[in-house]
Amino acid sequence: MAQEAAAGVIGSRLAAAVADTVPRMGTSRAPLIRPAAWALAFLLMAATRLLTIAPDPWHWDEVLLTDAVTHGIDLRVHRPHPPGYPLLVELSTFLRRAGMEAYRSLAVVGTTGGILAPLALAWLLREAGLSGAYACVGGLLYAFFPSIWLFGVRGFSDAPAAAFYFASCASFLGSARRRRPAGIALGLVLASVAAGLRPQCAAPLLPIALVSSIPFLRTNEQRARGVLLILFGALFAALVSLAIWWPAVSSSGGMDRFREQLAIQAADVHRNSLLSPSELVSWATWRRWLVDPLGTDAVFWAAAVLSIVGLLFRFRVSARILLVLLPWALLNVPVSPPFDAPRYAAVLLGGVAGLTAAGLERLSRPFRVASSLLAIAMIGACSVIAVGPVVEVARTPSPSYAAIQLLRTQPYAQGTVVHDAGLRQHLERLLPGRSRGEIVGDWPVVAVPGDVLVLADRHVSGLTLLRRFAFSNALLRRISRGLLLTVEVGRVTRPLSVGFRPAPPDAEVVRYDADIPVSVDSPADRDVVARELAVRGWCQLLGGSLVEPVEFRLDGVPVRILSLERFPRPDVASVIPAIGETSRAGYAAHLDTSALSPGPHVLRVTFRAADGRRRISHPVQFVWSP
């Protein structure tokens, strides 16, 4: 397989980088640590990963990924979050067919990436100009950053994608240093593998590849051979991408449907994750990206001081590290929610480790032994900080998964499950067929006697048979996503207001279900609407049961419906065949705008199914211009 060949190339290059540990600093002194010791250190790092592989799907992304491994990739089912990305699912599916349990196969692929990423970073740092010894220091320091270790043993694509990102950058830098166009070709192939794991991770590699190719296009010496090698690499990379992505495109209904689902994902990111300019320059945002993943402020400030030393006194090396890692930050940080930063920072933290290693290398000139001891101390400090939370997560069932297992047993196996939104995917995928109602954040929700209440990261009094599942290590809130750290399960014996907004005593009992298939097609986000406000879209249960749009709210206030029409939507059936016959799936509502002031407004639609369940649409922001 192309992926296996690429991994083999990474391994051979890394072996050379680890073996070459003599610092290139104008000195003939032997290194303090011999190649065999570095090899042993990386083997021990790999052992820590294999001993702490995650046991179950903690977060809902992992639940969706596990479902994709079990049933195949179909973005029409897994929206708005694509399951994977494809290569992670395809490799895991191969292991599953060989007899491995679905989530275990994901965790094994993710952990393999968690082992390769520090090695690939060491290769990148070597090509950036660090000595072999301090390139290894950078790789090992990165490996034991708490969040890198925590998410490097889970069923996510972040660690494998980071490994191939680092390897691709290393190949580009090596090509530029040695004037060998074959490195550009290899880098393009590695970039295509990274794109198959995480497209937004690989996108910054394209400008890096272009800049790295310029010298081979300008020089007269062997220009034709260089251009041909680069073109061959680009063609082979395109074929690798086709082999990775086409199965996902095909199983999602073809290219048109695939693009539609990616557009839905992009709109979801724009609506829920895009940071404002003030958020981008906020220290709170960057603290989440750069400080929290390291576990303690002390480690961050030590790394920051050493990074400044590296920038000042090893500028060329530091500049190369920044030039290949900053494009990733510019593309990814603005569209990533800060709570997810410790997980998404797998590439960015490679820059922190690299700059720290550059500072340590500079200090080794006047303080050779002290620099080595400081490097060992920093690696040791990170590992000591990380080992407690990582081992707890590896040995303890995650609160979300443990709660689902409890719901299979008496006396929790009967009754409607009323649950927080963060547990939606766990309940839908791991407990299919169970009657449930979701707690919608900005609407009052009431649970009634007989219900089973499942809460994430909060507590509601008044329950019986209360069971609480939690991770006890306080550091997990900082180095993880900070979600699903506690889950409580209990039975309801009297009517209870369980929503985030209190319900009045006489409130109607309403079940909200975020999985009812609905859509608000127009107005779209940021549309300018003039003359009349017509809301169009579709809604229908799988199998054909009718769903009605029953309430339209502007800025939280109900608006009078002037007219409401239903009409066929055959296009919906072609995208979602399981929805059945769609002769009345479409709707068009004309709303009263007599009291609507010019300017921006927020629209939300409430839908009701025949069995009484309801769904609230996502907020649509538009501008009214009468």
| CB-based contact 401:54 (threshold 8 Å) | no
Predicted local distance difference test score (pLDDT) of residue 8 = 46
pLDDT of 34 higher than 80: no
Average pLDDT over residues 163-192: 92
Average pLDDT over residues 229-253: 91
| CB-based contact 565:532 (threshold 8 Å) | no
Predicted local distance difference test score (pLDDT) of residue 220 = 58
> Model confidence over 561-587: pLDDT tens digits?
999 999 999 999 888 888 999 999 999
3-state secondary structure (DSSP) of residue 624: strand
Angle at 546 between CA 542 and CA 552, to 5 degrees: 110
pLDDT band at 22 (very low <50, low <70, confident <90, very high): very low
Predicted local distance difference test score (pLDDT) of residue 219 = 59
343 vs 415: CA distance, rounded Å: 36
81 vs 75: CA distance, rounded Å: 8
Predicted local distance difference test score (pLDDT) of residue 84 = 62
> Model confidence over 384-443: pLDDT tens digits?
999 999 999 999 999 999 999 999 999 999 999 999 999 999 999 999 889 999 998 778
Amino acid at 200: Q
Burial tier of 221 (Cβ tally within 10 Å: 0-12, 13-18, 19+): exposed
pLDDT band at 176 (very low <50, low <70, confident <90, very high): confident
Average pLDDT over residues 18-22: 38
Give me the DSSP letters along 32-80: SS-HHHHHHHHHHHHHHHHHT---S--SHHHHHHHHHHHH---HHHHTT
pLDDT of 20 higher than 50: no
The two most distant CA atoms of the chain are separated, in Å, by 86
What are the structure tokens assigned to 532, written together? 């009349």
Instruction: Identify the CA nearest to 603 among candidates 549, 552, 565.
Output: 552
| CB-based contact 121:166 (threshold 8 Å) | yes
Most confident range, picked from 22-36, 336-350, 499-513? 336-350
pLDDT of 121 higher than 50: yes
Average pLDDT, the chain: 89
Instruction: Identify the CA nearest to 117 among candidates 347, 390, 323, 299.
Output: 347
Beta bridge mates, 614 = 512, 608
487 vs 51: CA distance, rounded Å: 26
22 vs 424: CA distance, rounded Å: 54
Place of tokens 């809604």: 539
**Residue 432: how many other CB atoms lie within 10 Å:** 7
> Model confidence over 255-287: pLDDT tens digits?
888 887 787 777 777 777 889 899 999 999 999
CA 230 to chain centre: 31
**Residue 532: how many other CB atoms lie within 10 Å:** 10
Burial tier of 35 (Cβ tally within 10 Å: 0-12, 13-18, 19+): middle
> Model confidence over 279-327: pLDDT tens digits?
999 999 999 999 999 999 999 999 999 999 999 999 999 999 999 899 9
Q: Percentage of the chain with pLDDT > 90?
A: 69
pLDDT of 25 higher than 60: no
Predicted local distance difference test score (pLDDT) of residue 65 = 93
Predicted local distance difference test score (pLDDT) of residue 214 = 80
> Model confidence over 509-551: pLDDT tens digits?
888 988 899 999 999 888 999 989 999 999 999 888 999 999 9
Place of tokens 């009718």: 546
Instruction: Identify the CA nearest to 246 among candidates 92, 86, 111, 120.
Output: 86
Predicted local distance difference test score (pLDDT) of residue 504 = 85
Q: Percentage of the chain with pLDDT > 70?
A: 93
What are the structure tokens assigned to 164, written together? 């191939």
Predicted local distance difference test score (pLDDT) of residue 221 = 57
> Model confidence over 322-343: pLDDT tens digits?
998 999 999 999 999 999 999 9
Predicted local distance difference test score (pLDDT) of residue 27 = 38
pLDDT of 4 higher than 60: no
**Residue 558: how many other CB atoms lie within 10 Å:** 10
pLDDT of 472 higher than 60: yes
- Per-residue exposure over 442-453, b if at least 16 CB sit within 10 Å of its own CB, e if not: ebbbbbeeebbb
**Cα dihedral across residues 280, 281, 284, 290: positive or negative:** positive
| CB-based contact 340:481 (threshold 8 Å) | yes
Amino acid at 579: I
Most confident range, picked from 138-147, 244-253, 522-531? 138-147
pLDDT of 76 higher than 90: no
